[in-house]
Amino acid sequence: MTEQVQTGHLSGLATDPVVVEADRGRGAARGIFEALWDLLTSMRFSLFVILAMAALGLVGTLVIQAPVGVASDATAKADWLAGVRPRYGGWTDIFDRLQFFSIFGSIWFRGLTAFLTISLLACMVQRAPGLWRTATKPRVTVGDGFFAHARERDTIVVRGEAAELTGRVVGVLRKHHYRVLLDDDGAVNLYGDRFRWAPFGSLIGHLAIVVIFAGVMAGSLFGFRDDSFMIAEGSTALVPTGEGLSVKLISFEDAYYTDTGAPSDYASDLVVLQDGRDVARHTARVNDPLRYGDLSFYQSFYGPAAVMSVTETDGRVLFTDGVPLAWETKDDGRRVGTFTIPSKDITVWVVGTWGGTDPLVKPGQMRVETYRASTGDPIEQLTIDQGVATAVSGLNFTFDREIQYTGLSVSRDPGTILVWIGSILLIAGFTIGFMLPHRRIWGRLVLRPNGVGTLSVATPGRVTHDVDRAFTDLVTDLRAACAAPTAI
């Protein structure tokens, strides 16, 4: 006995109460492609894929994730693993082997995402034609079994003339915002529905996920990103996109609330230069990035910087600039920065003080450490006083004063627009799909020659509170309309 008039599981994605997966193509020798297709379009399978995705996400929240870049650098990775070993003990190597420390770049996550994408596309391809047929070419005539067994059904005794009664029934359905289709095969068959396009909302919601994935993909393929773009006050730094663009930091301000000491503002006054020419100026704040063309500059971090100058013994200037002390030494927490003097094959590390009790570098001093750039061999280390030119490895080093530097994230992401389009489709699609369920009702009007007969009406699927209420209201109105005095 069929309660479902529609065939297969074609008429809805998540909103349709029909489950049809078990009874297809069994027994017959199925090709591997067919089996794969069945798997990919199976609701049960997608359930497990989503669950697995959630499980990976859970791993990502519970297990500390290694910072970006650590995985590709063997020494950095060993250091990092040593850092988390006390916490995870013997599990450290197992987790590492399983790629749990960078779960969102892991083979599991990539594979699952690929699988999910293919599965989403397969489901849409498989379900769309059915949705289209249901919306555009619904069956108007259904068997008697449906009227006898649908969970939501009713029969009204009517008296009168077929055309007249049909007109009234159609009128009531239209008043309830149903579209009505008729078919006369001796009896009058009626089909009415509301929100016939709404099931496509769910389809669009699923499509939106693929659109978002496409945006993420476009961003990682064609985007540009530098999360540690640092400029000292008064300095200019070249944006590493190879487009002749540079950014100058006029000043950096960090402000604090006087009563709580909590930070209130971080602001970098920035000028954008194209081939040395000023083209834009903006004070970048945490919630207010600098945008120039398709590049965005976000206030990300900040810290102290040392204005250093290096001259030859004859007074020729080799280097003069603010050096961001952007790193911290691991054992003693001193701030350090670096620059190179290519013409002398020298790399310089500038080390700041950790405070008044620092025996090596006192406040008002900087320690200068020089290394051979090509080999990494140390040349000389010396602590120098502020404002005093001091000879280190045959060059005169001066620490002029301490200033601040700003750390910016620079990004260009052509995929973002796709992500936002996908996001809007996602919310709109699922909202429409869920809030406006496709309501369908079938009716059959049978009159005997004496003008007395029955109007059977039924609606398919699960009975819910609001479906029941809507159906009851509709039947009440139909009863009233058919019983109206002129019908006799």
Tell me which residues touch other proteins (CB under 8 A).
Answer: 14, 16-19, 21-22, 43-44, 46-47, 50-51, 53-54, 57-58, 60-61, 65, 104, 216, 225, 227, 257, 260, 262-266, 285-289, 296, 298-300, 409, 411, 413, 416, 419-420, 423-424, 426-427, 430-431, 434-435, 464-466
Q: What is the DSSP letter of 185?
A: S
Which of 15, 309 has the CB closer to other proteins? 15
CA 272 – CA 295 distance, rounded (Å): 11
Which residues face 319 on adjacent strands? Answer: 310
Which of 197, 257 has the CB closer to other proteins? 257
Which of 12, 192 has the CB closer to other proteins? 12
User: Least CB distance from residue 12 to other proteins, whole Å?
Assistant: 9
> Torsion angle, CA of 288/104/225/403, rounded to 10 degrees?
60
User: Least CB distance from residue 265 to other proteins, whole Å?
Assistant: 6
**Residue from 5, 28, 9 nearest 126 by CA:** 9
Which of 53, 121 has the CB closer to other proteins? 53
**Residue from 71, 20, 15 nearest 41 by CA:** 20
User: Least CB distance from residue 68 to other proteins, whole Å?
Assistant: 9
Q: Which residues, 6+ apart, have CB-to-CB distance to 311 below 8 Å?
A: 317, 318, 389, 395, 396, 398
29: left (phi over 0), alpha (psi -120 to 50) or beta: beta
**Residue from 247, 260, 403, 411 nearest 335 by CA:** 403
Which of 12, 138 has the CB closer to other proteins? 12
User: Least CB distance from residue 470 to other proteins, whole Å?
Assistant: 13
User: Least CB distance from residue 216 to other proteins, whole Å?
Assistant: 8
- For tokens 């971080």, name the residue: 266
Which of 64, 341 has the CB closer to other proteins? 64
Which of 47, 317 has the CB closer to other proteins? 47
Decide the pairing of beta strands 188-194 and 439-447: antiparallel
User: Least CB distance from residue 72 to other proteins, whole Å?
Assistant: 17
Cα-based distances in Å from 305 to 234, 253, 481? 11, 13, 85
Q: Is 109 helix (H, G, I), strand (E, B) or coil?
A: helix
User: Least CB distance from residue 217 to other proteins, whole Å?
Assistant: 13
